Structure 1
């Protein structure tokens, strides 16, 4: 998997998930890998980028807002969200943004 998502020409959407983890893995790594695998099968999914250090940041890219809503409603994803609230995150924030421009090499 590439470290930088190969996104199409804008516009598209970014879901930015920023978190601070609790101590220990407690199944987190396995679930995080599963969520990327599952999201990749969702209609409208364009890619993901993630960094996990003191603050975890995961950015997933989507073609439209409806695709994001469907991903949020996915039953397995909802279970991961519940576990995140209950044991993996001491704090988190989700932001949804429309990407108007992008550039790079």
Structure 2
């Protein structure tokens, strides 16, 4: 269990308007298909962070479903990522081996807000 000290694990480099790309995935149940998946995912996260206009990424995964949300300054930045040669190769590898299926959604974010429990001692 994680004990949060101070800041929560939210992307904080966004200010509306911006775009969010939501990728929901179902992984293959075949362990042979998943060889190299963790490394490929880490490489894509590092590569995305190098694209001009990248604002951050949040993700969650359990045994049945993964959700990755990446944030982008504008559609041109998102297009640059989508057309990146290494990313295109990783997409192909995902369709051929890693995923049973995926669904991508592109959203225009107009507003954001957040709440967090106070980290002051004795507060609830």
Same fold (TM over 0.5): yes
- Which of 63, 70, 76 is equivalent to 2:80? 70
Q: Per-residue deviation at 1:6? A: 1.3
Pairing partner for 2:16 from 2, 10, 19: 10
Secondary structure of the corresponding residue to residue 81 of structure 1: helix
Deviation at 1:26?
1.3
Larger radius of gyration: 2
Q: 1:102 aligns with which of 108, 112, 124?
A: 112
Question: What does 1:1-105 correspond to in 2, within 5 Å?
Answer: 3-23=9-29, 24=31, 25-53=34-62, 54-105=64-115
Q: Runs (4+) of structure 1 moved beyond 3 Å?
A: none
Distance 2:11 2:56 in 1: 5
Paired residue total:
104
> Which structure dedicates a bigger proportion of its chain to strand?
1
RMSD between superposed Cα atoms in Å:
1.1
Q: What is the alpha-carbon distance in structure 2 between the residues aligned to residue 70 and residue 19 of structure 1?
A: 22
Higher relative contact order (CA 8 A, sep 6+): 1
Under a length normalisation based on structure 2, what TM-score does the superposition of the two structures give?
Answer: 0.80
Structure 1, unpaired ranges of 5+: none
